[in-house]
Amino acid sequence: MAAVVQSDSEEEEFLGFGQQLESSRNVSDSESDISVSSVNTEDLSDFELTDSETEEDGVVPWNTNRDPVEVNPFVQNTGPVTNVTGTSTLDFFKLMFKEENFDRIAEETNRYARQAMAIKADPEWRETNAVEIRAFFAVNIMFGIKQLPEIHSYWSKNPLLGVPEIQKEGVSQHVAPLGWKGLMKCKGTGEIVSMRKMHDTDWKVKLTPEQFVVCRQKGTEPPWSGQFVDFKGKGIYKCVCCGSDLFSSSTKFDSGTGWPSFHSAMEVNSCVAAAPQLSVVEKHDYSHGMVRVEVLCRECDSHLGHVFPDGPPPTGLRYCINSVSLQFQPRDKEK
């Protein structure tokens, strides 16, 4: 053992693991233990399997058939499997909402409405009941299934708009459009359903390109180009995005600016507000190097135009509004 240790001349110098590995990789084919060229590839019959051997060993021979794979047609019924008797729409509705809950909801709704009426009365409101609340829930579910631009469209006779489930006598007589708005006012939120959560992709479907640029991107139509600049009709000007009442024709005047102008915005009555609110909201606008006051729809935040302090009496204001942001409802169709 001592002799082995002392024979330094017979030991090879250790170059480290990395260098040892690299030197082993650099060995040529002629220096390796096995030469690839020494393998005879002419006779490989010993490695081939005969047909009898493949059948005995259970090996499937190579198939040269290039025909497409045949897949049996899928004939099983798809969709959810239910075990509800009758499986009607009403059966599913009763699974989600128990009958005893509607009496309590109607009671709390009426109690909340009475408290609100003590602040400001609403002549259109009347107490509700469990039957109306049940229809109210059903209609709201349908609103989510089929979304239409305006509430009254659900009662439309147009087959492309109207919803037969809502138009049925048992539902329609309990939840008319006006009654639905009243319930929404007094259900505890103080507002009708808002459209503020809609995305730009939704607005692009609902609006024309010109309406989208003005209403959702705060654009401005060229002066004297709008359809309502010289319009003299009597009625209500509504928001083109959500249909909310904005301006009355009685407040419209000729400003000579090239845009429809109004000296007052309409007031919105709410059974939960101490005082009526304007149909529009105002916001400071510092765009384009100017200081202005932007006018927006209260319900959907749609850009309408700007308001200036150079209008006629009684307000001294001039609501300068884009025509494309408005839709007109004649006076004989207001109700």
pLDDT of residue 192: 41
Given a cut of 60, whether residue 14 has pLDDT beyond it is no
Q: For residue 279, what is the DSSP state?
A: S
Q: Does 269 map to a domain?
A: yes
Range of the domain at 137: 89-145
Residue 261's CATH number: 2.170.150.20
> With the C-alpha atoms ordered 13, 15, 20, 24, is the resulting torsion angle positive or negative?
negative
> Residue 209 has what pLDDT?
93
- With respect to residue 28, please indicate whether it lies within any of the assigned structural domains: no
Question: Taking 70 as the threshold, does the pLDDT of residue 271 lie above it?
Answer: no
Question: For residue 257, is it within any domain?
Answer: yes
Residue 199: the pLDDT is 81
If one compares 294 and 1, the residue with the highest pLDDT of the two is 294
- Asked if the bond preceding 149 is cis, omega within 30° of 0, the reply is no
pLDDT at 224 over 50: yes
Pick the catalytic residue: 215, 242, 271, 320? 320
In a domain, 5, yes or no: no
The contacts of residue 113 (CB under 8 Å, 6+ apart) are 125, 127, 186, 271
Could you tell me if residue 64 is inside a domain? no
**Is 320 part of the annotated catalytic residue set?**
yes
Last residue of a domain, one of 118, 145, 172: 145
Give Cβ neighbours of residue 40 (< 8 Å, ≥ 6 apart).
Answer: none
Residue 81 lies in a domain: no
Residue 210 and residue 324 in contact, taking contact as beta carbons nearer than 8 Å: yes
Residue 246 included in any domain: yes
Query: What is the layout of strands, in order, in the sheet containing 303-308?
Result: 252-253, 261-262, 318-321, 303-308, 292-297, 280-285
Tally the domains of the chain: 2
- pLDDT digits 0-9 by tens, 146-204: 777 777 777 777 777 777 767 664 555 555 544 555 555 554 443 444 566 678 888 88
In a domain, 2, yes or no: no
Residue with tokens 């008319």: 176
Q: Show which of 102, 117, 145 is a domain's final residue.
A: 145
